[in-house]
Amino acid sequence: MKILHVIASISPTSGGPVEGIMQQNAALLSYGVTREVVSLDLPGASYLKDIPFPVHALGETPGIGAGRYSLSRYGYSSKLIPWLRMNAQSYDRIIVNGLWNYAGYAASRVLRSMNIPYFVFTHGMLDPWFRQQNLIKHFFKQISWLVFEGPMLQDATAVLFTSEEELRCAQGAFWGYADYKKEIAKYGIMPPPPLADFQCASFSAALPALRGRKYLLFMSRIHPKKGCDIIINAFSRIADIYPDIDLVIAGPDQVGWARELQDLTQKMGIAKRVHWPGMLVGDEKWGALRSAEAMLLPSHGENFGVVIAEALSCGTPVLISNRVNIWREVDSVRAGLVCDNTQQAFGATLEAFLKQSDGELSLMRDRAIVCFDKFFNLKNTALELLIILRA
């Protein structure tokens, strides 16, 4: 089977959807599946050389995804629609990743008139959090939904959600086109690479300011949706009580929010204990996950949370909000702690975690690995996705 992914950007800074595509590659290859990507990335983007499958980068303007309010986040390429019309028939299945960007618009224009099975991963973009944050933007999305996104989902072979919770949250997000076919296609990741000691040493060398201290970890895009401010406020509450633990906030700052958050740590007097290494990849990323006391993600909306699965695979407990759509799986195995996505709730949860005994923490680490193997091991979830695509 030959699959084409349509996505705005395949840049690793784009977060979970890209990481999911990358993680699936080896597992799907073992089932005889080959994949290619068409995107709005610039053809000369440096990260393209590291992608292990063909990428047709048709971008014409820089800055896809840049800035909190930038129009460039929508993207554009005059080449995409002609390319899809010429090449789409060469693939057995097409997967459209995400909504509300030009890649999705082009897919809506082209694929609905072709006799090719296509699927749409919404990647959490129907979450009600977006409507609550900006009613004006939601109004314009509603118009776009009636003209482009809604018909595209209606005509898709199936619309894919990574969890039951994501599907539930998406119900009634927009008026019209509500009876599209829905399927649960669980995301997953491969087990972490070996050489744990080397990975931990790599992270330690990359962030010498930690000096071997214990730390709590946030690793994701620095974005208001992720609840970074909640983490900083919660950490400030326990900083004096637990002087031997620091906070690491790692990830790309796509919307220019990091400076505001750093100023907040200065005002709270905790700046020296909060570390900002930027985006971590490879051995440094895995070392950070393995060595952390816990992975923190009090997100206001998360369709899956690839980094949560990565942390669990390393035996690292997770402290997450109940807006991370895999929270039920985590809670069922007690592989971490789950709370509301509020400052008060997360602060209390962090305190409860730090009060646990060494024995309780060790047991939670064991349950983290159990949780990963049971729900998020790509060796199992890749086959489930393939069954959906072949139906």
DSSP 79-144: THHHHHHHHGGG-SEEEEE-SSSHHHHHHHHHHTTSS--EEEE-TTTT-HHHHHH-HHHHHHHHHH
From CA 111, how far away is CA 104, in angstroms rounded? 10
DSSP character for 191? P
From CA 228, how far away is CA 180, in angstroms rounded? 35
252: closest CA among 16, 42, 62?
Answer: 16
> Which CATH superfamily, name and number, covers 2-185?
Glycogen Phosphorylase B; (3.40.50.2000)
230: closest CA among 264, 280, 273, 270?
Answer: 264
From CA 197, how far away is CA 208, in angstroms rounded? 16
- Look at 221 and 391; give whichever has higher pLDDT: 221
Contact criterion met (CB below 8 Å) for 149 and 100:
yes
Question: In a 10 Å sphere around its CB, with 0-12 CB exposed, 13-18 middle and 19+ buried, how is residue 370 labelled?
Answer: middle
| pLDDT tens track for 326-355 | 999 999 999 999 999 999 999 999 999 999
| pLDDT tens track for 284-323 | 999 999 999 999 999 998 888 889 999 999 999 999 999 9
pLDDT value at 71 more than 80: no
382: closest CA among 155, 191, 156?
Answer: 191
Considering the entire predicted model, what is its pTM? 0.81
| pLDDT tens track for 116-158 | 899 999 988 888 777 777 788 889 999 999 999 999 999 999 9
The tokens for 261 are: 């958050």
CATH assignment of 196-376, given 3.20.10.10, 3.40.50.2000, 3.10.450.30, 3.90.870.10?
3.40.50.2000
| pLDDT tens track for 174-192 | 999 999 999 998 888 889 9
What pLDDT sits at residue 277? 97
From CA 12, how far away is CA 351, in angstroms rounded? 33
Neighbour-count burial for 53-80, b at 16+ CB within 10 Å, e otherwise: bebbbbbeeeebbeeeeeeebbbbbebb
Q: Could you state, in order of their start, the residue ranges of all structural domains in the chain?
A: 2-185, 196-376
Residue type, 186: K
Q: Do the domains 196-376 and 2-185 match in fold? A: yes
What pLDDT sits at residue 276? 98
